[in-house]
Amino acid sequence: MEKSIFYHAGCPVCISAEQDIVNLIGEGNVQIIHIGEDRSKILTAENSGVKSVPALVTPSGNVLHINFGASIEDVKG
Amino acid sequence: MEKSIFYHAGCPVCISAEQDIVNLIGEGNVQIIHIGEDRSKILTAENSGVKSVPALVTPSGNVLHINFGASIEDVKG
Protein backbone atom coordinates (compact mmCIF):
# COMPACT_ATOMS: atom_id res chain seq x y z
CA MET A 1 0.00 0.00 0.00
CA GLU A 2 1.22 3.48 -0.77
CA LYS A 3 1.78 5.60 2.30
CA SER A 4 -0.67 8.13 3.61
CA ILE A 5 0.74 11.49 4.64
CA PHE A 6 -0.18 12.99 8.00
CA TYR A 7 0.33 16.75 8.16
CA HIS A 8 0.46 18.44 11.52
CA ALA A 9 1.82 21.52 13.23
CA GLY A 10 2.80 20.24 16.63
CA CYS A 11 -0.33 21.41 18.42
CA PRO A 12 -1.77 19.21 21.18
CA VAL A 13 -4.75 18.22 18.99
CA CYS A 14 -2.26 17.22 16.28
CA ILE A 15 -0.11 15.08 18.56
CA SER A 16 -3.11 13.27 19.95
CA ALA A 17 -4.51 12.59 16.47
CA GLU A 18 -1.09 11.48 15.24
CA GLN A 19 -0.91 8.83 17.93
CA ASP A 20 -4.38 7.57 17.04
CA ILE A 21 -3.66 7.45 13.32
CA VAL A 22 -0.36 5.62 13.81
CA ASN A 23 -2.09 3.08 16.03
CA LEU A 24 -4.94 2.60 13.55
CA ILE A 25 -3.19 2.36 10.23
CA GLY A 26 0.30 1.34 11.33
CA GLU A 27 3.50 3.36 11.62
CA GLY A 28 4.86 1.93 8.37
CA ASN A 29 1.86 3.12 6.40
CA VAL A 30 2.04 6.80 7.18
CA GLN A 31 4.59 9.53 6.60
CA ILE A 32 4.43 12.29 9.19
CA ILE A 33 5.20 15.87 8.22
CA HIS A 34 5.41 18.75 10.69
CA ILE A 35 4.61 21.81 8.57
CA GLY A 36 5.51 24.13 11.45
CA GLU A 37 9.11 22.84 11.34
CA ASP A 38 9.36 21.94 7.65
CA ARG A 39 7.76 25.05 6.22
CA SER A 40 8.66 24.16 2.65
CA LYS A 41 5.92 21.54 2.94
CA ILE A 42 3.15 24.07 3.61
CA LEU A 43 2.65 24.62 -0.12
CA THR A 44 2.74 20.86 -0.80
CA ALA A 45 0.05 20.38 1.82
CA GLU A 46 -2.09 23.16 0.37
CA ASN A 47 -1.73 21.75 -3.11
CA SER A 48 -2.97 18.41 -1.80
CA GLY A 49 -6.12 20.14 -0.53
CA VAL A 50 -5.17 20.42 3.13
CA LYS A 51 -7.07 23.32 4.71
CA SER A 52 -6.30 22.68 8.36
CA VAL A 53 -4.11 20.42 10.46
CA PRO A 54 -4.08 17.72 11.55
CA ALA A 55 -5.01 16.17 8.22
CA LEU A 56 -4.40 12.84 6.56
CA VAL A 57 -3.91 12.62 2.81
CA THR A 58 -4.78 9.08 1.75
CA PRO A 59 -2.96 7.10 -0.96
CA SER A 60 -5.92 7.83 -3.27
CA GLY A 61 -5.41 11.56 -2.75
CA ASN A 62 -8.40 12.27 -0.54
CA VAL A 63 -7.92 14.60 2.40
CA LEU A 64 -9.31 13.70 5.80
CA HIS A 65 -9.32 16.74 8.04
CA ILE A 66 -9.22 15.37 11.57
CA ASN A 67 -10.58 17.34 14.50
CA PHE A 68 -9.24 20.85 14.33
CA GLY A 69 -5.86 22.09 15.44
CA ALA A 70 -4.98 25.04 13.27
CA SER A 71 -5.82 26.41 9.85
CA ILE A 72 -3.07 26.46 7.25
CA GLU A 73 -3.36 30.25 7.23
CA ASP A 74 -2.54 30.33 10.94
CA VAL A 75 0.49 28.10 10.45
CA LYS A 76 1.73 30.45 7.73
CA GLY A 77 1.27 33.58 9.85
CA MET B 1 -7.30 -5.23 18.02
CA GLU B 2 -10.62 -3.97 19.32
CA LYS B 3 -12.80 -2.42 16.66
CA SER B 4 -13.12 1.27 16.04
CA ILE B 5 -16.61 2.65 15.52
CA PHE B 6 -17.36 4.90 12.57
CA TYR B 7 -20.48 7.03 13.04
CA HIS B 8 -22.06 8.65 10.03
CA ALA B 9 -25.38 9.99 8.80
CA GLY B 10 -25.37 9.04 5.16
CA CYS B 11 -24.25 12.41 3.85
CA PRO B 12 -21.88 12.53 0.86
CA VAL B 13 -18.98 13.65 3.07
CA CYS B 14 -19.71 10.69 5.37
CA ILE B 15 -19.78 8.12 2.58
CA SER B 16 -16.53 9.38 1.12
CA ALA B 17 -14.81 9.33 4.53
CA GLU B 18 -16.22 5.87 5.27
CA GLN B 19 -14.61 4.49 2.13
CA ASP B 20 -11.27 6.04 3.06
CA ILE B 21 -11.39 4.77 6.63
CA VAL B 22 -12.33 1.24 5.56
CA ASN B 23 -9.46 1.24 3.05
CA LEU B 24 -6.99 2.56 5.61
CA ILE B 25 -7.73 0.52 8.69
CA GLY B 26 -9.44 -2.49 7.15
CA GLU B 27 -13.09 -3.48 6.99
CA GLY B 28 -12.70 -5.99 9.81
CA ASN B 29 -11.39 -3.36 12.19
CA VAL B 30 -14.27 -0.94 12.09
CA GLN B 31 -17.94 -1.11 12.94
CA ILE B 32 -20.06 1.27 10.90
CA ILE B 33 -23.13 2.89 12.44
CA HIS B 34 -25.57 5.08 10.52
CA ILE B 35 -27.11 7.29 13.20
CA GLY B 36 -29.63 8.67 10.74
CA GLU B 37 -31.12 5.18 10.33
CA ASP B 38 -30.34 3.75 13.76
CA ARG B 39 -31.43 6.71 15.84
CA SER B 40 -31.09 4.83 19.11
CA LYS B 41 -27.34 5.15 18.58
CA ILE B 42 -27.37 8.95 18.60
CA LEU B 43 -27.14 9.01 22.38
CA THR B 44 -24.40 6.35 22.37
CA ALA B 45 -22.43 8.48 19.93
CA GLU B 46 -22.91 11.62 22.03
CA ASN B 47 -21.84 9.79 25.16
CA SER B 48 -18.65 8.74 23.36
CA GLY B 49 -17.90 12.40 22.68
CA VAL B 50 -19.05 12.56 19.07
CA LYS B 51 -20.01 16.15 18.19
CA SER B 52 -20.34 15.81 14.43
CA VAL B 53 -20.35 13.12 11.80
CA PRO B 54 -18.48 11.49 10.22
CA ALA B 55 -16.45 10.55 13.30
CA LEU B 56 -14.29 7.62 14.28
CA VAL B 57 -14.17 6.44 17.88
CA THR B 58 -10.90 4.57 18.36
CA PRO B 59 -10.46 1.44 20.50
CA SER B 60 -8.80 3.66 23.11
CA GLY B 61 -11.92 5.84 23.24
CA ASN B 62 -10.59 8.90 21.44
CA VAL B 63 -12.85 10.61 18.96
CA LEU B 64 -11.53 11.65 15.57
CA HIS B 65 -13.93 14.06 13.91
CA ILE B 66 -13.27 13.73 10.19
CA ASN B 67 -14.03 16.55 7.79
CA PHE B 68 -17.49 17.83 8.49
CA GLY B 69 -20.77 16.36 7.35
CA ALA B 70 -23.35 17.29 9.95
CA SER B 71 -23.50 18.19 13.61
CA ILE B 72 -25.19 15.75 15.94
CA GLU B 73 -27.78 18.44 16.67
CA ASP B 74 -28.69 18.57 12.99
CA VAL B 75 -29.06 14.80 12.82
CA LYS B 76 -31.40 14.95 15.82
CA GLY B 77 -33.53 17.70 14.30
pLDDT tens profile B17-29: 999 999 999 999 9
Chain A hits for B4, Cβ within 8 Å: 24
Beta bridge mates, A66: B66
- Find which of A15, A64, A66, A68 to mutate to test the B interface (most B CBs within 10 Å of its CB): A64
Task: In whole angstroms, give the CA distance from residue B20 to residue B30.
Answer: 12
Task: Give the DSSP H/E element, type plus range, for residue A54.
Answer: strand A52-57
Domain ranges of chain A: 4-76
Residue B1 has pLDDT above 80, yes or no: no
CATH for A4-76, among 3.40.50.11890, 1.10.357.10, 3.40.30.10, 3.40.710.10? Answer: 3.40.30.10
pLDDT tens profile B33-43: 999 999 999 99
A44 touches chain B (CB under 8 A): no
Which residue ranges in chain A fall short of pLDDT 50?
none
Task: In whole angstroms, give the CA distance from residue B65 to residue A65.
Answer: 8
- Find which of A20, A50, A71 to mutate to test the B interface (most B CBs within 10 Å of its CB): A20
User: Taking residues B43-62, what's their average pLDDT?
Assistant: 96
pLDDT of residue B6: 98
Task: In whole angstroms, give the CA distance from residue B50 to residue B29.
Answer: 19
Cross-chain Cβ contact A64/B17 below 8 Å: yes
Nearest-CA distance A65 → chain B (Å): 5
Residue B56 has pLDDT above 70, yes or no: yes
pLDDT of residue A1: 60
Q: How many helices (H) and strands (E) does chain B have?
A: 3, 4
Mean pLDDT (chain B, rounded): 95
User: ipTM of this predicted complex?
Assistant: 0.90
